[in-house]
Structure 1
Amino acid sequence: MGSDNSRHRGGESRFSQWLRRLPGAGSGSADTTETAASREDLLLAAAAAGFPLAQAAYPEGYGCSCDRIGCPTPGRHPVSFAWQTQASTEAEQVARWLRAQPEANFITATGINHDVLDVPAEAGQSALEVLDAAEVEVGPVARSGEGPQARVLFFTATRGTPDDEDEWWPCELDCHPETMDEHPGLRWHCRGSYVLVPPAKLPSEGSVAWLRGPELPLPDPLTLLEALTDACARYAGEGAGHESVAWPLHH
């Protein structure tokens, strides 16, 4: 069954109804209360899907809400060093965080209940077309940012902690996201990593938003890898090859 069918099975999903309530879904400005409620609904939907959430910083003026002078990743990082232990799928906890800091972004900790394959937006959109044409179940997909730095995030089942530790690798780039420009290809967010979960605000009116919602089943990451690596190779240009991919090529 194709992803479009699973998205619309049984009529319009509750998630689709939430999307229509978001600012920009219709004409005119959204009521502040309804906007907050829609945002809470979307975050609670992510938590209900099993995505562990923790509070993150948010853009403030031209900088970041954190107290770090010259923060290199404004609005893109957790507020606490203990984010891995604080990350929760409990609706009550997420709601408390939201009400304590309504503007906060949220990250989702990867490598627990899910992983994320993170690629340049152009490569991600190309891969989506290929995967849809092949009727591959893609699962939840989000877009982060706009322009040359935009990324597409594919949420997948997690590899967890393999018995053979040689088959696991830390995603160093996600611990130090300011190095993103040095690694333009695919990044695999796994154990010890995180990504911003939609809806989130980025500097300069940027945002993180769902293309396909968290209600969809998580696919095995290996079913997406070939399309994503091929798309990233085309994006990087001739000669880029697969040397820059962030996972071991042996299994």
Structure 2
Amino acid sequence: MTQACEHLSQELSDGILTLTFNRPEKKNALTQAMYGAAADAINAAQDDKNVRVILLTGAGDAFTAGNDIADFAGAGSAPRDGEPPVARYLKAILYCEKPLIAAVNGLAIGVGVTMLLHCDLVYAGEAATFQTPFVNLGLVPEAASSLLLPRAIGTQKANEMFLLGRKVGAEEAERIGLVAATVPDAELMKTARAAASALAAKAPGAVKATKKLARGELAEIAARMDGESKIFGAQLQTAEFAEAALAFAEKRAPDFTKVA
């Protein structure tokens, strides 16, 4: 297994590799270093016979608040081998052949939601909330979510989340099919680990094949992910994102009339 970075904890027990976004003082906002470490861990797990299931969760009272805005405004680490860590992470979850389970505690914002669309089972604590405020930040959806979210919850609900940045609570998330189940916060990890343990005990070849069948053709998803990434990268260079980032730092609402 690869060594965890400071803000990504790794634990392997009974065939379950638990990856915990561990930056609670920042609501587990993801940095390039965290993306890189998570990508390395997931990729390494593919060839590790001791890993049967991968479980994603967050430390403290948040799953993840999404991308660290300062990091994406230019403070991130340099890409390795010419590929940004975030791209490596998205490809890692896209092509992961082993079951991915998410235990969503508290906030799930931006990529904290879109990565769930690549998980095979998602459980939410009752205090969990889901929000994809890309347009609010002058950005666009990523992780192939512009394809996968409408498929999962319908175009109208997806547009409310994408275009309006509407926040969805845990009970609604279960009702519209964004998560498998909502449970009391105190039972979240127990529930997710029980599902992971059940999967770890099943025939790995059958699990792998069933996951592949359920996901369908990956080429379309990968193409959408690449297309989104290009637009997302271009938007990072716009005055719209600059205003959104400045407004975030100044703790005010962005004024996009300045850049219209």
Fold-level similarity (TM above 0.5): no
TM-score (normalised: structure 1): 0.28
Greater helix content: 2
Structure with the larger RCO, 1 or 2 (CA within 8 Å, 6+ apart):
1
**What TM-score results when the alignment is normalised by the length of structure 2?**
0.27
